[in-house]
Structure 1
Amino acid sequence: MERATQELRVLELRRRGVTYEQIAAEMGISRRTVERRYQEALQRVGSDTAEQVRREAEDQIYTVRRYAYDLLDLPNLTVSERSNVLRLVLQCNRERVDLLGAKWPSHMIATLEIEANGLEVPGGARSAR
């Protein structure tokens, strides 16, 4: 597949909320290549469109994350179901950080992974929703 075609496909899939990992698997390229193609596509389409795409993707991530937190409030979740929902929250947080091009502080990663495994965070600290 030609580079420009890859860029457009990656942009289209990201606009629909598909993760970098899913795109990489579908297209048979590495996650890092997907990230590069996405950034290249955003540069080609211009800053206004790129910002719109970023906002739409961030809105989708927030929607999924809010839904996941609502699920966590259900009293009848099994430990396994709760762990799955917490993993989804962690994935949403990672996707948002990737989208913003930021790096996670190591203490946040540790806290989120501990919470995702249903364990108590030392010192009673909790990450922000």
Structure 2
Amino acid sequence: MAAKTALERATEELRALELRRKGITLDEIAAEMGISRRSVDRRLKSALERIGSETTEQVRRRSEDQIDAVLRHAYRLLELPNLSVNERVRVLGLVLQCDRQRTDLFGARWPSHLIATLEIDNAKELLDGARSAK
């Protein structure tokens, strides 16, 4: 029997992966493709290594979307008139944490003095708002 070409092997890998994602068992895939169960297992592992489950860009986009959703919710909370000072501080802390995560996501780092300045400014703003509310 002649050895399979790289294209034939890649085609088998993708076919095995497609069948597996449809929920077909390894034994059923082996029977359908005319190969052993162990060969199916090797084809699946190879296919996953070849294509990866998610690209780095897909993971980054998904993470960014999650951060954006949290920020949208946080900003809606900040618009509530009956939010206490402590609740505002916690929500603003969450906003700052999301900003840090977004910065990390893009591979940039904020200098620690900038983070401290932002936190101090947020605290001052909250205290001024609390004083004027009285």
TM-score, structure 2 as length reference: 0.49
Which of 75, 87, 106 is matched with 2:93 structurally?
87
Which 5+ residue runs of structure 1 have no aligned equivalent? Answer: 1-43, 122-129
Residue identity in the other structure for 1:77: L
**Partner Cα distance (1:72, 1:64) in 2:** 12
Alignment RMSD, CA only? 2.6
Identity %: 62
SS of 2:55 mapped into structure 1: helix
Greater gyration radius: 2
1:120 equivalent to 2:120? Answer no
* Deviation (angstroms), 1:99: 1.0
SS of 2:125 mapped into structure 1: coil
TM-score, structure 1 as length reference: 0.51
Q: In the alignment, is the contact (CA less than 8 A) between 1:86 and 1:115 conserved in 2? A: no
Deviations 1:51-85 (A, max 9, x none): 01100000100110111011001000000000010
Deviations 1:18-49 (A, max 9, x none): xxxxxxxxxxxxxxxxxxxxxxxxxx949x71
Report how many aligned residue pairs link the two structures: 76
Which 5+ residue runs of structure 2 have no aligned equivalent? Answer: 1-50, 127-134
Hey, what does 1:61 align to over in structure 2?
67
1:96 equivalent to 2:102? Answer yes
